[in-house]
Amino acid sequence: MSTGSLLAADLVIAVLAAACWLGGGAASTARRRPLALGLAALALVATLARAITITALARAGWWFAAEKVLIAAPLSLAAVGVAGPRLLQAPRDIRAVAVPLLFAGYATSSALLVTVLHGYPASAGAGLLAVAGVVAATVITGRALGARPRRTVSRVAVVVAGAALVTGTGLTVAAGATSVVPHDHGYPVARIAAEPTRRFTLTAGTTTVNAGGRNVAAWAFNAQVPGPELTATVGDVLDVTLRNRDIERGVTLHWHGYDVPNDQDGVPGVTQAAVRPGQEFVYRFRADQAGTYWYHTHSASDVGVRMGLYGVLVVRPRPVTGVDVTVPVHTLAGRSLPAPRVERVEAGAPVRLRLINTDSTTHRYALAGTAFRVAAIDGVDLRGPTPLADTAVLIPAGGRYDLVFNAPTTPVALFVDGRAVYSTGPVSTATGTWPVLDPLDYGARAPVPWSRVDKTFTLVLDRGLDLRGLLPRYAHTVNGAADPDIPPQVVRLGDVVLFTIVNRSQVVHPWHLHGHHVLVLARDGEPAAGSPLWLDSFDVRPGEVWKVAFRADNPGMWANHCHNLAHADAGMTLHLMYS
């Protein structure tokens, strides 16, 4: 069983246990004996079953089990210890076990709340608060049902609640962990003095575009979705003027995957101010990294990108030879882009399909009718890619795969989630059952370029209640905190930096560090066994643990966030800064 499935199973069992204890308690107060005993028996089994899931999770990694071992397990033992013996006596008046059953319900429910609302890391405050809640609820229930709680019980409740408040609930930031994200960083960055050789102007504005045969409202660059395709050849100097006509939330240009100097990175509030209606901003950088990239607004990025403020950036090593097609996949107002494209390709012609996922969730791509190789991922060529056939690839949010092949005499077609988006003629192949390529063991290995690590950071991805803002929110968290309260990661120029990224949530998090490509070292303890994978976007699925590293060679203040942009917006954003 994968760790992701274990996390889900443990959650389901925990909910079942809590619901059955509470249901059993309620049934006993109503003197419904068989129902009460049945639910209590089920609750007992579910509570004991968690010993198995919690142990397995702890073996997969302490991150997955910390609060379950430290808080849920003792509370569950208390539940079983109090309610179990009373049940075995099977009293004639079933109402006599109501308070013990409800106590067990409160204990397992509060442990569940600690996991769902607080998560990782476990804290003494969260544990004490959970215990205080259980004692208080039990005392109140006892009074309501006419049982006389002993004085000592009430005193214990007061003491525990006080301790919980004194130690903090764990929901507040530790002193000294405040985030420092200056609006003006002032890092020295070499401006490019060279004369531009490729000039573009992108004007952002609200508009209406045709998507899938229907007119929909959009935010667009130059009134088209996607925006104009920006192309350059290695050696060019790009000069892109961004104008904002009427996007009230502001716009910027972030060059996704292209490692620009920091002041060109387009993150509002970090590397520049957002460009307001009527304003403009000029980006200039050298095209020295051949590959497939894309650009998008980073201002109100969740809604901005979703509404259409994105486009393709391709840097080619030399002028195009053969067929070179970009396929930026996007969902606009529920409609899939791009529209299907059919073109004749001469047999034998070399073809490169540049697949780009500009959505916030993973897409599945399948190329039918030919063998192909994955020549590059995230703009970086793979080493020794071997031919693949009848194999699908999964591209994370923000990610890019370049597929290459020589056109056969028969038609080929590219399917995205089963929909043909590009073809050279009619193809009717079912691709839904094809196996999926694991890039971690595709291509030829090469040694890791460093023998040391200077800085290590662990990022535990989860959900939790964030009480630090004006309004409480159920945030997507990193190490128990949400943007802007996640402490920045500080590195020095030249450091080799190791990230361990752990997903203990129930959803996929496509991770994206700005300004650097990271080298994948291992996933779930298995070392990467294929071509070196230098990624800027990778899916960390529920229960997965990724180890990636990079050399800190691009000074500045960089966003480091989940590229499911709704998650980034809901707290899952932090910053990497150079000291």
Give min distance, CB of 562 to Cu ion, in A. Answer: 3
User: Segment near Cu ion (CB under 5 A), from 214-222, 260-268, 310-318, 558-566?
Assistant: 558-566
The reply to whether 513 sits near Cu ion by the rule CB under 5 A is no
Least Cα distance to 102 among 181, 13, 21, 216 occurs for: 21
> 108: closest CA among 69, 67, 74?
74
Spatial contact of 572 and 36, defined as CB atoms under 8 Å apart: no
| Residue 335 backbone phi and psi in degrees, to 5 | -100, 140
Q: Does 567 bind Cu ion (CB under 5 A)?
A: yes
Nearer to Cu ion, 306 or 551 (CB): 306
How many residues belong to the site for Cu ion (CB under 5 A)? 4
Q: Provide the minimum distance between the beta carbon of 189 and Cu ion in the complex, in angstroms, as a whole number.
A: 29
Distance CA 564, CA 510 (A): 6
83 membership: H or E segment, kind and range: helix 73-89
Q: Which residues share a beta bridge with 220?
A: 205
Torsion of CA 338, 342, 347, 353, to 10 degrees: 0
Task: Examine residue 562 and tell whether it contacts Cu ion (CB under 5 A).
Answer: yes
Binding segment for Cu ion (CB under 5 A), chosen from 12-20, 101-109, 211-219, 560-568, is 560-568
- 303 SS3 class: helix
In the Cβ-directed half-sphere of 394, how many Cα atoms lie within 13 Å?
Answer: 17
Segment interacting with Cu ion, rule: CB under 5 A, options 45-53, 221-229, 546-554, 566-574: 566-574
Per CB under 5 A, the list member of 564, 565, 571, 575 interacting with Cu ion is 564
Minimum gap (Å) between residue 92 Cβ and Cu ion? 54
- The secondary structure element, H or E, covering residue 113 is helix 98-113
Provide the minimum distance between the beta carbon of 509 and Cu ion in the complex, in angstroms, as a whole number. 3
Interaction between residue 573 and Cu ion (CB under 5 A):
no
Closest CA to 224 of 306, 308, 299: 308
Of 302 and 454, which has the nearer Cβ to Cu ion? Answer: 302
Pairwise CA distance, residues 512 & 490, whole Å = 17
User: Least Å distance between CB 572 and Cu ion?
Assistant: 5
- CB closer to Cu ion out of 345 and 562: 562
Residue 254 within binding range of Cu ion, rule CB under 5 A:
no
CA distance 502 to 508: 11
Which CB sits closer to Cu ion, 301 or 370? 301
Residue among 509, 541, 551, 561 that touches Cu ion (CB under 5 A): 509
282-295 as b/e: b if 16+ CB within 10 A:
ebbbbbebbbbbbb
CA distance 185 to 555: 11
Stretch that binds Cu ion, among 151-159, 177-185, 506-514, 535-543 (CB under 5 A): 506-514
Closer Cβ to Cu ion, 514 or 567, answer by number: 567
If one asks whether residue 482 binds Cu ion (CB under 5 A), the answer comes out as no
| Nearer CB in complex with Cu ion: 243/567 | 567
Calpha distance 223→206 (Å, rounded): 8
Minimum CB separation of residue 561 from Cu ion in Å reads 8
- Interface stretch with Cu ion, choices 207-215, 261-269, 542-550, 565-573 (CB under 5 A): 565-573
The site for Cu ion (CB under 5 A) is made up of: 509, 562, 564, 567
